[in-house]
């Protein structure tokens, strides 16, 4: 199978998972005690007739499986339904929130990869040295600290105490400088984006960095013990080339998989980080939706975030297949 | 001895400094390799053969270290110590630097074929790419020439369609084919000496035969010297010119191959030969070596083989024999480290025997287990 | 004599080692020898001890849950000398800074929260909440996962396919999001810590099931299972007596690490207000409250985070050490 067919195959494979996501969220949202409209009103005294009218209008009086079919037939056409609470199409609400979350998650990943890989290799080559022990302790703290607390600490230090960086909001480069009356030029816009992004990026990226660094270290140690490294040494290959080429290439394969799977943690973490830093992304929208029990919106967001994860995993799978010659493009399953 | 040897190893000592203590993996071995000959390094697993052969390239892995002796290759000192003015041992001035060993010795003068063909090739690079990299590194060839040379060598070692297979990855090759690739790799660098570290152990018997024939042919064609590390006396008989038998870090017998087989001077060598299947004997006649080899961290006193030796006498517990010339054949000495020979003269004949004792306490059937 | 000894040792040494490698005693010795695991055990033990103590001491629970008490945890400790008891600040009288501050008092080592409750007492009490949340929800996932995973792995076929589909689906939704949705909807809009525990536990059932399943799949092919089958042992008994005990060790490592993950997630949940509810002294909940006082009292946000960090680090250290003990391949 070629790479293109493998991609198609993986996309097809993802369909049951995507359907599964809709079933789980749909069941959770609809099997809750009390019907959605009453839940949404959160105990406010309202006319029974009004509730019935609302339910009829949004098809909530239909049996569960029919509602699911209606929902799904809308979904395949890109219609996520209508938010009763906000009186707006769910897709409209989500569209403007997608960019900030993607910017945040991708930059956190960039930060994590750019720091974790050199540090992991460094630790692997100085195994059991003080430098290795320090890096391992840092990694341990990294995987043990809640990202939102790191965010709070960064705000306290760099925004509240030192006043160097802003503590909330983002500047969106795709809006252009004309959207901000306090920004004139493009370089200034990008500078402001970076300034706003820095703290949330570090807060969200630390866990990823720590995880990747641990994996990178063990993978490099294992790879450096490989027979192929011994062979390269025996043929006079300089140690630097061995590290950068022979051992590194093999060690990167598991890293790619981990990056894909960790997207789940990163997207979950984005909810907390967007909340702490007041970033208007999907995560914050999710919290707003939860607070108002806007079940159509909650379903939409859950499905979109689940889809983002699935796509992320497919991308990493494909790059894995591209890099590792041993992968026979998924014929085994 | 005819001319100046290609490689001379004298009193080489390599030790591993572990938490449990110092392991004397190689404990003062000496041997020579001449131009165009295949020298065997034989012994059970754990005898120190592989460590010895890696020491020749100064590629002993942590926590191991070469602590003494001299390795001379074509007059150049790969390893050598001398006593400094303060009485401390220090590296000799003419000893090659790490860079010199890496750039001038490894690959282009002494190449290696490892035991495990499945693991020795890097899984993420093409076979051809790996060959070409080592050729470019060790010979003055451009990328294009190195590629042509790699393909020529693949053909030389009997890989069909070398041009297509050049682009393939190791996992697309069988074990025997990968071992051929490794042989091609070694020969392509045009070294004068190839260390073959149990190159056929991981292979099927039929493939093993093919590989040995191939090496035999190519050795004749290119005139390369070999150090053939193995635990298999059968392979030794088939391919080697001269043999060094190792036991617990020491060479206990060295002789030309026919001499070793027909006029064995050391009981351990005899035991190895007796445990080897031969067409003229039934399986029932095989004699396993009693007991297991002790660990190099706490070797027995005296002769290290005495706890397992059928000829052991009381004197063997006390006297540690260095190999001495006990006979001569084809212009080479036949050395053995066993006090029963007259050359030692430590009172073996008068010493009371330790007979039967090992048999009474020996618990493990079958001494020589494969690796 | 020497000959006999060396050979006797040579004979029994390897076989004993092989046997011990799979035994519990071997694991325990390894954990004792492993610095990482030992430190993890100390930290976990310390946190567990505190939790147990706060569970037994009824005074403490009284003084953490809203009512202003006439003494603090620090005053109850014999290591501090308190000649004069400082009366607690009244409810709503604002927060006292930590003791190292000029306005602080050793009776309130970490100061008080905005309601005038001693922060140190609440932090100490928080251990109980975090640890029980971590252990109970991991236990739910563990037990549920063991049952489902061993059945799916042992029987294979359609049950297995279905399980794998569910696992893949649950994997695809970030746990925090799935758990919030679960907690909020199942509780009918009024989430609390019980629903959070339940949500975390149920969410991780498929994850545990998957690990058990792969263990079972490899064990299923072992000779002794074949032998048991051939001699007519019932499937249920094979699962209970052979499969589950043998797949236990790797799952135990995972469970230990999972406790840390669980505490991390529940902290996030409580921080957003969907886990522990005030006045429960949960670290996440305390961070939620202190978030509103970030500019007036910095320290309120610091202490609960450090407590979370230490606790999770303990479980992670212990889990890592356990992993090293059971899989010595990557050990230094």
Whole-angstrom Cα Rg for chain A: 24
Interface test with A, best of B120, B178, B194 (most A CBs within 10 A): B120
- Judging contacts by C-beta atoms under 8 Å, the chain A residues touching residue C267 are 146, 149
Contact A127, C332 (CB under 8 A): yes
Q: Which of B301, B354, B363 sits opposite C7 (nearest CB)?
A: B363
- Indicate yes or no: CB of A152 within 8 angstroms of CB of C287: yes
Mark yes or no for CB contact C330/A221 under 8 Å. Answer: yes
Burial of B104 (0-12, 13-18, 19+ CB in 10 A): middle
pLDDT < 50 positions in chain C: 1-22, 66-68, 83, 328-332
What is the pLDDT of chain B when averaged over all its residues? 85
**Out of A234, A238, A246, whose CB is closest to B112?**
A234
Report how far residue B199's alpha carbon sits from residue B180's, in angstroms, rounded to the nearest whole number: 10
Among candidate residues A261, A296, A262, A301, the one with its CA nearest the CA of residue A281: A301
- Helix (H) / strand (E) containing B291: none
**Interface touch B119/A253, C-beta < 8 Å:** no
A36 pLDDT band, cuts 50/70/90, is low
User: Please, what is the average pLDDT of chain A?
Assistant: 86
Instruction: State the nearest Cα–Cα gap between C214 and chain B, in angstroms.
Output: 25
Inform me whether the C-beta atom of residue B362 falls under 8 Å from chain C C-beta atoms: yes
CA–CA min distance A1, chain C (Å): 24
Neighbours of chain C (3+ CB pairs under 8 A): A, B
Lowest model confidence (mean pLDDT) among A34-48, A239-253, B80-94: A34-48
What share of chain A has pLDDT > 70, as a percent? 93
Flag whether residue B307 sits within 8 Å of chain C, measured between CB atoms: yes
A-chain residues near B185 (CB < 8 A): 235
Q: Is the dihedral of CA C286, C287, C291, C295 positive or negative?
A: positive
| B268 half-sphere exposure, CB direction, 13 A CA radius | 29
pLDDT computed for residue A328 by the predictor: 63
Q: Which residues have C-beta within 8 Å of that of residue B182, sequence separation ≥ 6?
A: A231, B113, B114, B117, B120, B121, B199
Distance CA A150, CA B303 (A): 66
| Most confident residue range from A76-80, B110-114, C83-87 | B110-114
How many Å lie between the alpha carbon of B118 and the closest alpha carbon of chain A? 9
pLDDT: which is higher, B369 or A3 = A3
**Statement: residue B256 has pLDDT above 90:** yes
Instruction: Closest CB to A237: pick one of B121, B123, B137.
Output: B137
Distance, in Å, from the CA atom of C306 to the CA atom of C120, rounded to the nearest integer, reads 12
Using alpha carbons, list the distances in angstroms from residue C72 to C46, C101, C106, C124.
20, 18, 10, 11
Residue of higher predicted confidence among B102 and A62: B102
Inter-chain CB proximity A227 and B137 less than 8 Å:
no
Minimal Cα–Cα distance from A145 to chain C, Å? 5
Peptide bond before residue A62 is cis, with ω within 30 degrees of 0: no
pLDDT number for residue C136? 92
Rounded CA-CA distance B124/B126 in Å is 7
B250-256 and B332-336 as β-strands: parallel, antiparallel, unpaired? antiparallel
CA distance B287 to chain A (A): 35
Task: Look at B123 and A234 and tell me if their CB atoms are within 8 Å.
Answer: no
Least confident residue range of A10-24, A290-304, B57-71, B280-294: B280-294
Element (H, E) at C114: none
Instruction: Render pLDDT for B263-309 as a digit per residue (tens, 0 to 9).
Output: 999 999 998 888 877 767 676 777 777 777 777 778 888 888 888 88
Taking the C-alpha atoms of residue B339 and residue B303, their distance in angstroms, rounded to an integer, is 9
* Paired sense of beta strands B332-336 and B193-197, if any: unpaired
> Could you write out the DSSP letters of every residue in C228-270?
HHHTT--HHHHIIIIIHHHTHHHHHHHHHHHHHHHHHHHHHHH
Residues C155 and C148 sit within 8 Å (Cβ to Cβ): no
Start-to-end C-alpha separation, chain A: 13
Closest CA to C197 of C112, C284, C114: C284
CB contact under 8 A, A309 and C174: yes
Angle at A172 between CA A169 and CA A175, to 5 degrees: 135
pLDDT (0 to 100) of residue A43: 61
Question: How far is Cα C189 from Cα C187, in angstroms, rounded to an integer?
Answer: 6
CB atoms < 10 A from the CB of C190, how many?
11
Measured between alpha carbons, how far is C190 from C196 in angstroms, rounded to an integer?
A: 11
* Residues whose CB is less than 8 angstroms from the CB of residue B112 and which lie 6 or more positions away in sequence, other chains included: A231, A234, A235, B53, B57, B186, B194, B195, B196, B197
The verdict on a CB contact (< 8 Å) between A230 and B114 is yes
More confident residue, C73 or A92: A92
Domain ranges within chain C, ordered by starting residue: 125-330
How many Å is the Cα radius of gyration of chain C?
Answer: 25
Which of C163, C181, C308 to substitute to test the interface with A, most A CBs within 10 Å?
A: C181
Residue B366: per-residue pLDDT? 39
CA nearest to B304 within chain C: C3
- SS3 assignment, position B351: coil
Q: Which of B292, B307, B364 sits opposite C3 (nearest CB)?
A: B307
What is the pLDDT at residue B135?
A: 92
Mark yes or no for CB contact A271/C177 under 8 Å.
Answer: yes
Q: Which among B292, B304, B316 is the top mutation candidate for probing chain C, defined by the most C β-carbons within 10 Å of its own β-carbon?
A: B292
Residue of A nearest to C184 (CA): A290
Neighbours of A229 (CB within 10 A): 20
Q: Which residues of C are less than 8 Å from A149 in CB distance?
A: 267, 287, 301, 304-305, 308-309
The per-residue pLDDT for A33 is 61
This complex has an ipTM of 0.87
Q: How far apart are CA C299 and CA C281, in angstroms?
A: 16
Tokens 């007596």, located at residue: C241
C2 CB within 8 Å of a chain B CB: yes
Domains observed in chain A: 3-75 (no CATH), 91-291 (1.10.3720.10)
CA distance C145 to C167: 11
CATH 1.10.15.40 fits C125-330, yes or no: no
Q: Check residue C34 and give its pLDDT.
A: 74
**Contacts of A among chains (3+ CB pairs under 8 A):** B, C
CA distances from B141 to B135, B148, B189 (A): 8, 10, 11
Question: How do residues A262-278 score in pLDDT, each as one tens digit?
Answer: 888 899 999 999 999 99
Q: Give the C-alpha separation, B92 to B292, whole Å.
A: 39
With an 8 Å Cβ cutoff, are B114 and A253 in contact? Answer: no
Q: Find the range with the poorest average confidence among A1-15, B252-266, B351-365, C155-169.
A: B351-365
Place of tokens 């020497």: C2
Residue B52: pLDDT above 80? Answer: yes
Q: What is the pLDDT of residue B71?
A: 92
Contact A269 C176 (CB under 8 A): yes
Please give, rounded to a whole number of angstroms, the shortest distance from the CA of C3 to a CA of chain B: 6
What does the pLDDT read at residue C238?
A: 76
Q: Tell me the C-alpha distance between A24 and A21, whole Å.
A: 5
Residue C282: the pLDDT is 86
d(CA B131, CA B137): 10
Q: Does the pLDDT of residue A252 top 90, yes or no?
A: no
Q: Could you report the per-residue pLDDT of A127-165, keeping only the tens digit for each? A: 888 888 888 888 999 999 999 999 999 999 998 888 899
Helices (H), B58-200: 98-100, 117-120, 127-138, 143-156, 162-166, 175-188
Residue C86: the pLDDT is 56
- List the beta strands (DSSP E) in chain B: 7-18, 21-33, 38-42, 64-73, 76-83, 89-91, 110-113, 193-197, 225-230, 242-247, 250-256, 324-329, 332-336
Place of tokens 């995973």: C149
Say if residues C180 and C274 touch (Cβ distance below 8 Å).
Answer: yes
CA distance A7 to chain B (A): 21
All residues of chain A having their beta carbon less than 8 Å from the beta carbon of residue C180 are 271, 286, 290
Q: In what side-by-side order are the strands of the sheet with B21-33?
A: B21-33, B7-18, B64-73, B76-83, B89-91
Distant-in-sequence, close-in-space partners of B246: CB < 8 Å, separation ≥ 6:
B29, B41, B42, B43, B47, B48, B49, B52, B252
Q: Give burial (CB, 10 Å; 0-12/13-18/19+) of A78.
A: exposed
Closest approach of A192 to chain C, Cα-based (Å)? 23
CA distance A233 to chain B (A): 8
Interface size between A and C, measured as CB pairs under 8 A:
152
d(Cα C23, Cα C17) in Å, to the nearest integer?
A: 10
Which residues on chain A are in Cβ contact (under 8 Å) with C182? 28
**Tens-place pLDDT, residues B325-349:** 888 888 888 999 988 888 888 888 8
Nearest CA in chain A to B126: A325
Residue C274 gets the label, from left (phi > 0), alpha (psi -120 to 50) or beta, of alpha
| A99 in Cβ contact with A174 (< 8 Å) | yes
- Which chain A residue shows the shortest CA-CA distance from C293? A156
Other Cβ atoms less than 10 A from the Cβ of B287: the count is 14
CB-based contact A84:A37 (threshold 8 Å):
yes
Task: Give me the domains of chain B, ranges plus CATH numbers.
Answer: 248-371 (3.40.50.300)
Beta-sheet pairing, A88-89 with B89-91: unpaired
Cα–Cα distances (Å) from B81 to A284, B54, B94, in that order, read 70, 18, 10
């Amino acid at each position: 199978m070629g790479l293109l067919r493998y991609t198609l195959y993986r996309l097809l494979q993802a369909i049951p998972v995507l359907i599964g996501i809709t079933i789980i969220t749909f069941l959770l949202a609809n099997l809750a005690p009390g019907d959605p409209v009453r839940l949404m009103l959160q105990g406010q005294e309202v006319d029974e007739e009004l509730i019935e009218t609302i339910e009829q209008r949004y098809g909530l009086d239909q049996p569960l499986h029919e509602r699911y079919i209606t929902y799904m037939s809308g979904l395949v056409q890109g219609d996520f339904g209508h938010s009763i609470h906000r009186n707006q199409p769910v897709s409209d609400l989500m569209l403007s929130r997608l960019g900030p979350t993607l910017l945040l998650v991708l930059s956190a990943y960039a930060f994590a990869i750019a720091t974790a890989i050199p540090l992991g290799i460094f630790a692997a080559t100085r195994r059991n040295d003080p430098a290795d022990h320090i890096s391992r302790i840092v990694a341990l703290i990294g995987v043990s600290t809640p990202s939102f607390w790191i965010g709070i600490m960064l705000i306290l230090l760099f925004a509240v105490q030192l006043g160097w960086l802003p503590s909330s909001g983002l500047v969106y480069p795709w809006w252009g400088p004309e959207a901000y009356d306090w920004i004139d030029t493009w370089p200034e816009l990008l500078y402001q984006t970076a300034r706003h992004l820095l703290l949330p990026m570090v807060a969200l990226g630390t866990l990823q960095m720590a995880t990747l660094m641990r994996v990178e270290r063990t993978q490099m140690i294992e790879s450096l013990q490989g027979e192929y490294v011994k062979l390269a040494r025996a043929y006079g290959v300089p140690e630097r080339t061995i590290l950068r080429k022979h051992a590194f290439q093999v060690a990167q394969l598991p890293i790619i998989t981990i990056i894909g799977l960790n997207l789940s943690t990163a997207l979950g973490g984005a909810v907390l980080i967007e909340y702490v830093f007041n970033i208007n992304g999907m995560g914050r929208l999710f919290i707003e939706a939860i607070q108002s029990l806007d079940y159509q919106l909650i379903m939409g967001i859950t499905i979109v975030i689940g889809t983002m994860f699935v796509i992320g995993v497919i991308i990493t799978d494909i790059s894995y297949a591209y890099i590792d010659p041993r992968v026979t493009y998924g014929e085994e399953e | 001895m005819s001319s100046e040897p290609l490689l001379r190893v004298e009193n080489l000592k390599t030790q591993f400094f572990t938490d449990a203590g110092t392991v004397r993996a190689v404990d003062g071995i000496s041997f020579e390799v001449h131009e165009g000959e295949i020298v065997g390094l034989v012994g059970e697993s754990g005898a120190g053969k592989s460590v010895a052969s890696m020491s020749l390239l100064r590629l002993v892995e942590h926590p191991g270290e070469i602590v003494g002796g001299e390795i001379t290759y074509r007059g150049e000192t790969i390893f050598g110590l001398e006593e400094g003015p303060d009485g401390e041992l220090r590296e000799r001035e003419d000893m090659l630097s790490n860079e010199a060993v890496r750039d001038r010795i490894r690959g282009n003068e002494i190449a290696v074929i490892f035991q495990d063909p499945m693991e020795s090739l890097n899984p993420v690079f093409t076979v051809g790419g790996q060959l070409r990299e080592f050729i470019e590194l060790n010979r003055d060839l451009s990328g294009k020439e190195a590629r042509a040379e790699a393909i020529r060598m693949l053909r030389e070692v009997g890989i069909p369609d070398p041009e297509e297979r050049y682009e393939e990855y190791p996992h697309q090759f069988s074990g025997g084919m990968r071992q051929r690739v490794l042989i091609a790799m070694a020969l392509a660098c045009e070294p004068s000496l190839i260390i073959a570290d149990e190159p056929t152990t991981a292979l099927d018997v039929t493939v093993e035969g093919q590989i040995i024939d191939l090496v035999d042919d190519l050795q004749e064609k290119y005139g390369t010297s070999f150090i053939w590390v193995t635990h298999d006396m059968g392979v030794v008989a088939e391919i080697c010119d001269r043999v060094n038998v190792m036991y617990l870090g020491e060479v206990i017998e060295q002789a030309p191959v026919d001499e070793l087989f027909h006029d064995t001077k050391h009981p351990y060598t005899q035991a190895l030969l007796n445990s080897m299947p031969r067409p003229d004997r039934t399986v029932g006649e095989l004699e396993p070596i009693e007991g297991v080899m002790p660990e190099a961290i706490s070797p027995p006193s005296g002769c290290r083989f005495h706890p397992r030796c059928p000829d052991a006498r009381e004197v063997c517990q006390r006297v540690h024999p260095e190999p001495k010339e006990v006979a001569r054949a084809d212009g080479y000495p036949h050395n053995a480290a066993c006090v029963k020979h007259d050359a030692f003269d430590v009172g073996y004949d008068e010493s009371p025997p330790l007979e039967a004792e090992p048999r009474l306490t020996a618990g493990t059937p079958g001494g020589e287990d494969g690796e | 004599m020497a000959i006999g000894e060396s050979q006797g040792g040579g004979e029994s040494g390897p076989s004993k080692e092989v046997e011990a490698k799979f035994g519990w005693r071997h694991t325990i010795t390894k954990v004792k020898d492993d610095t990482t695991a030992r430190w993890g055990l100390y930290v976990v033990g310390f946190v567990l001890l505190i939790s147990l103590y706060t569970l037994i001491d009824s005074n403490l629970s009284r003084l953490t849950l809203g009512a202003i008490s006439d003494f603090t945890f620090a005053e109850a400790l014999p290591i501090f000398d308190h000649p004069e008891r400082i009366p607690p600040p009244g409810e709503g009288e604002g927060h006292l800074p930590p003791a190292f501050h000029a306005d602080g008092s050793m009776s309130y080592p970490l100061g008080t929260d905005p309601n005038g409750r001693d922060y140190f007492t609440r932090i100490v009490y928080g251990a109980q909440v975090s640890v029980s949340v971590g252990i109970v929800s991991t236990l739910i996932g563990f037990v549920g996962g063991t049952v489902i995973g061993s059945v799916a792995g042992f029987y294979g076929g359609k049950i297995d396919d279905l399980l794998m589909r569910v696992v893949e689906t649950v994997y695809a939704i970030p746990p925090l999001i799935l758990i919030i949705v679960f907690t909020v909807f199942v509780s009918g809009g009024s989430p609390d810590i019980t629903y959070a525990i339940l949500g975390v536990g149920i969410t991780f059932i498929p994850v545990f099931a998957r690990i058990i399943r792969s263990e079972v799949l490899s064990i299923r092919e072992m000779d002794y299972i074949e032998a048991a089958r051939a001699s007519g042992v019932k499937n249920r008994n094979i699962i209970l007596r052979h499969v589950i005990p043998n797949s236990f060790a790797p799952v135990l490592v995972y469970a230990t690490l999972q406790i840390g993950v669980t505490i991390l997630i529940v902290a996030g949940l409580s921080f957003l207000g969907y886990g522990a509810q005030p006045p429960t002294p949960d670290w996440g909940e305390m961070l939620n409250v202190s978030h509103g006082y970030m500019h007036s009292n910095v320290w309120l946000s610091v202490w609960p985070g450090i407590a979370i960090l230490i606790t999770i680090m303990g479980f992670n250290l212990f889990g890592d050490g356990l992993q090293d003990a059971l899989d010595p391949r990557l050990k230094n």
